[in-house]
Structure 1
Amino acid sequence: MAIYVYGATAQAKMTIDLLERLDIAVEGCIDKSLLLDSVLGYYVELNHQYDSEANYVLAIRNAGLRKRTFEDLSLRNFPVLVDPDAYVSKHTEVEAGTVIFAKAVLMPDVQIGQQVLIDSGAVIHSNTIIEDFVNIGANVHIGSNVLVGEGVEIGANSVVDNEVTLAPFTIIPPNSHISG
């Protein structure tokens, strides 16, 4: 399998590094503004001709922009990417386009929507639902029985206690503690 990385920023660098760790060939990067001509040695295309057979990954940190881009490209193939140093329970559901980085832990009975970014060291406990286009920062801890609404962005080192619901497109600053 080969894959195109949509984006040319820091998130693209993290994603390329993950793809290389997974021994997945990177076809190149795609971006709407040509600020860079390459990312980690991979060519950045401004006017990409989409291939219905190709695989794509959205390396876009902003949840709203990632959602709009996904809707523009929705007929494409978006595989799930999981770092080999992450733990995802076999009883966890993960939808298309989600990217899970190193040292993340997803416990049993967790549901992860599509196009979710889960950064290194994040821990998500059982009976939790993470809706589409959510960003979970590095070292975030999410308790049990939590509902994280669509497009929520949880900053690094934050804690979300058990039994909490986060409304769609809420932005949680880094180092926050959210309780019910």
Structure 2
Amino acid sequence: MKLPHLEPEEFIVCADQGPLRERIFHFSPTSLANLKAKANQECETNNVISSFQALSALVWRSITRARNLPSDQPTTCSFSIGARSRFEPPLSDENFGNYIGGAQWICNVEELLGHDLGWVAMNLRKCIMAQDGKAILGMYQFFAKSPIVFTPDKQDFHGPNKVVIGGSA
């Protein structure tokens, strides 16, 4: 199998990303527990939504609201997901390599901001939970058949309607 690019110059792109914008927020254990409880209460679930899912829903909604996007525009929340434990049986710690998957949920701005935190968190949870070993293996098989190299100039990973969250989804 050959990759579509043979020379590094073909896929190493130095695109001007503009100034780095970084914000650091601290959420106390108490505020995270309250946020998780609120999301679960709004969904009428018994502790199904995790702190991570509730926080991701809050951050996505907050960023989207601050961007003041048109209500009919789609917005996306994407996650990198550790895949090692999602395979059946799970891959052992002795198995070398990093295994990741991805999940994304798309809705329009009106939908995202028109529903409560719990509704958004529950939909993010469903999207994340759907990424089992079979789904991730399917993604790997797809890329094995048609390998591509993602570059900033050809793939729009960032944009006013996208939020990308890395972490322990």
Q: TM-score, length-normalised on structure 2?
A: 0.24
Which fold has the larger relative contact order, with Cα–Cα distance below 8 Å and residues 6 or more apart in sequence?
A: 2
Structure with the bigger percentage of helix: 2
Relative to its length, the structure with more strand (as a share) is 1
TM-score, scaled to structure 1: 0.23
Which has the greater radius of gyration? 2
